[in-house]
Structure 1
Amino acid sequence: MEVVILPGGKPIAALAADAIEALLRRKPDAVLGLATGSSPLPVYEELAQRHERGGLDFSRVRAFTLDEYVGLPAGHPEAYREVIRREFTDRVNISPDNVRGPDGQAADIPAACRTYEDAIRDAGGVDLQLLGLGTDGHIGFNEPGSSLASRTRIKTLIEQTRRDNARFFGSLAEVPHHVLTQGLGTILEARHVILIATGAQKAQAVRDLAEGPVAAICPASVLQLHPHATVLLDEAAASSLRLADFYRHSYDGKPRWQGL
């Protein structure tokens, strides 16, 4: 796991976009894993600007969204399919047919989850997966206690996550109780994972994921087992790390040609 500490959200977004751009330059038909929430939004903004200004090409890209609420009606503005469309895919030249997410409206949820897993596998797997981080250490909607080997499935949200997401809805009562999410085992199969965390409210979760034990109580800690995981932090999110100076030293001395 590589931990990179940067001054703020803009350099984090630029560095993550650099990694995605480098991937698309060498593999134009790359498969991207797209997360929602507030953390990846600056990355999507940066990528959209690179498309508009420099012609960064997404025409052959395929993408899979990380998770979805269960039961929201089609077109609901907070359905993650709509968020990804609004914030990113409508702003670049990726075909809507090439963007797929878990089906939160399916009548047969287990079958829909299996179909989604099959689609990722048929696409050749995810080349680069973007992740945010919950204040309780969740990634995707894999709440504390999730199996470290889990696959795409239905999950019940804990109240802290519902409270955290209530800002996107009119009230807490409108936040669904159930979601579909890629499992931790699914996420681990992505060839490169980039997790973004900013703000002091994420500091304890960051310490647990990077320096604590690999344990279901902090689902993100499973990334310690990933062969190519990158954690991008601002100073506030890194404030509880015991090895922060080591991470800074390591990154400052890293050859720039190496990338992330």
Structure 2
Amino acid sequence: MNIIVCQNYDHLSDYAKDVVIDTIKTKDKPVLGLATGSTPEGMYRALIKAHQNNDVSFKHVTSFNLDEYIGLGKDDPNSYHHFMDEHLFNHVDIDQNETFVPPGNTDDHEKACRDYEQNMHHHDNLDLQVLGLGINGHIGFNEPGTPFDTRTHMIELDDSTREANARFFDSIDDVPTHAITMGIETIMESKQILLLASGDSKKEAVYRLLNGEETPDFPASILHRHKNVTVILDRDAASLLSVEQIDQVVGPK
């Protein structure tokens, strides 16, 4: 793992933006794995600004999102399909026929998972997968205890995950109990992984990621097996790490 510590969240977002743009510019038909939630929002704002400044085009980009809530249609304001439209897709020149989000509102979840996997394989898997880090170590919606060999599947959400996401809903009772998520094995097939973590609430998860044992009880621990992982942290998220564990400290441009 390459551990990068940035001064603050805005700089983390800008640094992550540069990694994404580098992938887009070095691939003829780049395939991006994208994440939702509050952590990547700044990165998406930075990408939109870069596009508006003619620094990057998304015309040849294909994207696959990590996950989606079960029971929410793509037009539901709390769906991740809607999130991506609002935070990126509607503001750049990406072909929206080449943007894929797991279908949460389907009667056949097993078929939806199989089809999603097949579509990714058709595109030769992902060139870059963006991940956040749950406070319980989840990546995507792969909760603690998820086997490392899982493919895209439906999962019941941990109480801590629902509580963390309740701020986006009217109440925790409105937070779906299940989701479709890329599996851990699916994520690990990405050619490059970019993990983002920001804020004091993530410092213990970051510490465990770098110092704990490899176990399904902390799904992100599998990332040590991947040959190309960049972890970008702000100072708060990195506050429990030793100097020796940090590869680079970078400041604002």
TM range (shorter): over 0.9
> Which residue of the partner structure matches residue 171 of structure 2?
171
Deviation of 1:252 after TM superposition, in Å, equals 5.6
Which residue is 1:141 aligned to? Answer: 141
**Aligned counterpart, 1:245:** 243
- CA–CA separation in structure 1 for the residues paired with 2:76 and 2:210: 35
Q: Which moved more, 1:174-183 or 1:26-35?
A: 26-35
Q: Any idea what SS the aligned residue of 1:4 has? A: strand
Deviates more, 1:1-10 or 1:32-41: 1-10
Letter in 1 for 2:11: P
Q: 1:70: which partner in 2?
A: 70
Residues 60-69 or 231-240, more deviating: 231-240
1:29-44 mapped onto 2 (5 Å cutoff)? 29-44=29-44
* Greater Cα shift, 29-38 or 2-11: 2-11
* 1:28/1:57 contact within 8 Å kept: no
**Residue-by-residue CA offset, 1:45-76 (whole Å, 9 max, x unaligned):** 00000000124110010000000000013411
1:203 aligns with 2:203: yes
The answer to whether the 8 Å contact 1:12/1:233 transfers is: yes
Report the more deviating stretch, 44-53 or 7-16: 7-16
Task: For residue 158 of structure 1, report the CA deviation from its aligned partner.
Answer: 1.1
Q: Which residue of 2 aligns with 1:189?
A: 189
- The answer on whether the counterparts of 1:28 and 1:58 sit within 8 Å (CA) in structure 2 is no
Tell me if the contact between 1:129 and 1:187 (Cα under 8 Å) persists in the aligned partners: yes
Question: Cα gap change, 1:9/1:28 in structure 2, threshold over 3 Å: closer, same or farther?
Answer: farther
- Residues 84-126 of structure 1 show CA distances to partners (whole Å, capped at 9, x for unaligned) of 1110111110011000011111211111100000000001110
* Preserved contact between residue 129 and residue 194 of structure 1 (Cα < 8 Å): yes
The equivalent residue for 1:25 is: 25
Segments ≥4 residues shifted beyond 3 Å: none
Matched, 1:125 2:125: yes
**Aligned-residue offset at 1:17:** 1.0
Q: Is the 8 A contact 1:152 1:183 kept in 2?
A: yes
CA–CA distance in structure 2, aligned partners of residues 203 and 147 of structure 1: 24
User: For each residue in 1:130-163, what CA deviation from the matched residue of structure 2 results, as whole angstroms up to 9, or x when unmatched?
Assistant: 1111111111000011111111000001111111
Q: Note the C-alpha offset of 1:251.
A: 2.1
Q: Matched residue pairs, number?
A: 250
SS of equivalent residue, structure 2 residue 53: helix
Task: Write out per-residue CA displacement over residues 173-197 of structure 1, whole angstroms, 9 at most, x where no aligned residue.
Answer: 1000000000110100001100100
The residue matched to 2:72 in structure 1 has which SS? coil
Percent of residue pairs identical: 37
CA distance in 1, matches of 2:74, 2:44: 23
- Correspondence for 1:219: 219
Give how far 1:211 is off.
1.8
1:83 paired to 2:83: yes
What corresponds to 1:49 in structure 2?
49
Find the aligned partners of 1:252 and 1:204 in 2 and give their Cα distance: 19
RMSD after superposition = 1.3
> 2 CA distance for matches of 1:137 and 1:77?
26
Aligned match of 1:110: 110
Contact 2:32–2:64 (Cα < 8 Å) also in 1: yes
Letter in 2 for 1:30: P
TM-score (ref. length: structure 1): 0.93
Secondary structure of the 2:4 match is strand
- Deviation of residue 207 (structure 1)? 1.2
TM-score normalised according to structure 2 size: 0.96
Structure 2: runs of 5+ lacking an equivalent: none
Q: Distance in 1 between matches of 2:207 and 2:249?
A: 21
CA distance in 2, matches of 1:210, 1:121: 30
AA of the residue aligned to 1:42: G
